[in-house]
Amino acid sequence: MIRISGVSKNFTLHNQGGTVIPVMAGAALEVAPGECVGLIGASGAGKSTLMRMVWGNYLAASGSIMVGGLDVAKAEPRQIIALRRVTLGYVSQFLRVVPRVPTLDVVAEPLLQLGVPQDQARDRAAGLLARLNIPQRLWSLSPTTFSGGEQQRVNIARGFAHTYPALLLDEPTASLDAANREVVLSLILEAKTRGAAILGIFHDEGARARVCDRLVDVTGFTPKVAA
């Protein structure tokens, strides 16, 4: 479902004398349907960078990133937009929403984008919020005022609202209490059971052991620094 090969990435800092920083070279990995692959490596090794290249908000300098038949590294913006709507989901570490939109609608939004009727989309959203222990009295409020952990759970609910065939998870269990961590892990396991291909970053080793089938150390993709 996800196949990365020969991917490299540089950052060019035009406003700092055009410094070019190579951050990744020769990245390669595969995620099959129903499989969860965990990215590991020290902080700054490029886990999030690789994940963002798969999502398409970072440009790859070379290589190919196939997701459900589309090469994200070369695709047109509108193809990536369609991919994100239908095929590829992403639970980032930060919730970014239009202020004042009720939590229930924030979670239902990905389904509305797909043309799911509003009541059906809201039912699904309500089910997820209840499961993630967001009290019902908060559903009509905007999540911008919520605590960090609550915002993260809203973000997770939103990411799992549609049954994407491929999912990217960036630290989905960070800053969650034990009970909510369990809920998130079971959501991930259910997604695997229905055949989703998952690429994740988990600092929580227990969580990693529970859901990941394989680990890929991104340190192996660090460019060799020419002396």
Binding site for other proteins (CB under 8 A): 11-15, 52, 56-59, 77-78, 80-82, 85, 96-101, 112-115
CB closer to other proteins out of 100 and 224: 100
Nearest to 29 by CA among 18, 19, 37, 21: 37
User: Which of 40/97 has CB closer to other proteins?
Assistant: 97
The CB-of-113 to other proteins minimum distance in angstroms stands at 7
Q: CA 106, CA 158: separation in Å to the nearest integer?
A: 7
Q: Smallest distance, Å, CB 24 to other proteins?
A: 13
Dist. CA 36–CA 125, nearest whole Å:
24
The nearest distance, CB 20 to other proteins, in angstroms, is: 12
51 vs 199 by CB, closer to other proteins = 51
- Neighbour-count burial for 65-88, b at 16+ CB within 10 Å, e otherwise: bbbbebebbebeeeebeebbeebb
Q: By C-beta, is 7 or 188 nearer to other proteins?
A: 7
Residue pair 192/36 in contact by the 8 Å Cβ criterion: yes
Which single residue is written with the structure tokens 């291909």?
A: 197
Q: Smallest gap, in angstroms, from Cβ of residue 97 to other proteins?
A: 8
Min dist CB 227 to other proteins, Å, is 28
Comparison of 58 and 146: residue with beta carbon closer to other proteins = 58
Q: Of 37 and 83, which CB lies nearer to other proteins in the complex structure?
A: 83
Three-class SS state of 177: coil
Write out the DSSP string of 5-70: EEEEEEEEEGGGTTEEEEEEEEEEEEE-TT-EEEEE-STTSSHHHHHHHHHTSS--SEEEEEETTE
DSSP state of 225: P
Minimal distance in Å, beta carbon 122 to other proteins? 14
